[in-house]
């Protein structure tokens, strides 16, 4: 029996999008988007140049800091999806340094939908040989020798993992503020 590997890989992400991620973002407000659940939580801030950037440190503290929904959704939008769409299917100009992270809940939702749609459309075009081809020239050198399917599955994991954290933060916000 032949297996449509592209279809199977995308089915995992699409199911999560349709039944978990996108419905859980319904009604997200700017107040909730920027809510810091603990003192010192990492978030997204406007820089002197007007671009919005995530709090970060190199090396990352151990344990990693708690983050806001703005930070988590921005990570999914910019680093997990937009940058990878650009690097693997575009002109390879997007970087963490030149990115402008979403500043509002509405912007995050809009960019997330756009990035998800672009990513899944491009992955849909990969056949079995496209999934098996080396990632090569990746935005992160550690991916260069892996087959594209490894990166696609990694993106699935990243979206599922971080969106689940967003859902947990929404649950905590609702419990704290009764909304």
Query: 94 or 140: which carries more pLDDT confidence?
Result: 94
Residue 125 has pLDDT above 70, yes or no: yes
CA-CA distance, 165 to 179, in Å (whole number)? 18
Q: How much is the pLDDT for 139?
A: 65
Of 107-111, 141-145, 172-176, the poorest mean pLDDT is in 141-145
Asked if residue 68 lies in contact with residue 35, where contact means CB atoms within 8 angstroms, the answer is: yes
Enter the tokens of residue 11: 């089915």
Mean pLDDT of 28-56: 97
Residue 164 has pLDDT above 90, yes or no: yes
The residues with which 44 forms a beta bridge, in sequence order, are 54
CA-CA distance, 33 to 55, in Å (whole number)? 15
CA-CA distance, 11 to 78, in Å (whole number)? 22
The enclosing H or E element of 165 equals helix 148-177
Q: Which residue segments constitute the domains of the chain, with CATH numbers given?
A: 3-38+64-175 (1.20.120.450)
Whole-model pTM: value is 0.95
DSSP per-residue codes, 31-85: HHHH--SSTT-B-EEE-TTS-EEE---SSPPSSPPPB-HHHHHHIIIIIIIIHHH
Banded model confidence at residue 144, pLDDT cuts 50, 70, 90: confident
Q: How much is the pLDDT for 20?
A: 97
Of 9-18, 33-42, 47-56, 143-152, the poorest mean pLDDT is in 143-152
Q: How much is the pLDDT for 178?
A: 80
Banded model confidence at residue 3, pLDDT cuts 50, 70, 90: confident
Residue 142 has pLDDT above 90, yes or no: no
Q: How much is the pLDDT for 55?
A: 97
Asked if residue 119 lies in contact with residue 10, where contact means CB atoms within 8 angstroms, the answer is: no
Asked if residue 123 lies in contact with residue 9, where contact means CB atoms within 8 angstroms, the answer is: yes
Residue 9 has pLDDT above 90, yes or no: yes
Residues with Cβ within 8 Å of residue 91, at least 6 apart in sequence: none
Mean pLDDT of 127-133: 94
Percent of the chain whose predicted confidence (pLDDT) is above 90: 89
Query: Mean pLDDT of all residues in the chain?
Result: 94
Mean pLDDT of 5-26: 97
CA-CA distance, 79 to 48, in Å (whole number)? 21
The residues with which 30 forms a beta bridge, in sequence order, are none
């Amino acid at each position: 029996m032949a297996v449509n590997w592209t279809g199977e890989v995308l089915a995992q992400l699409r199911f999560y999008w349709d039944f978990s991620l996108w419905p859980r973002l319904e009604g997200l407000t700017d107040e909730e988007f920027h809510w810091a659940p603990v003192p010192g939580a990492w978030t997204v801030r406007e820089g002197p140049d007007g671009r919005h950037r995530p709090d970060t440190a190199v090396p990352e503290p151990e344990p990693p800091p708690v983050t806001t929904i703005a930070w988590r959704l921005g990570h999914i939008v910019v680093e997990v999806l937009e940058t990878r769409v650009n690097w693997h299917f575009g002109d390879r100009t997007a970087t963490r340094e030149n990115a402008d992270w979403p500043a509002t809940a509405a912007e995050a939702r809009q960019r997330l939908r756009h990035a998800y749609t672009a990513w899944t459309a491009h992955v849909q075009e990969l056949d079995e040989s496209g999934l098996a081809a080396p990632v090569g020239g990746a935005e992160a050198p550690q991916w260069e020798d892996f087959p594209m399917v490894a990166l696609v599955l990694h993106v699935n994991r990243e979206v599922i993992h971080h969106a689940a954290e967003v859902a947990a933060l929404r649950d905590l916000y609702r419990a704290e503020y009764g909304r």
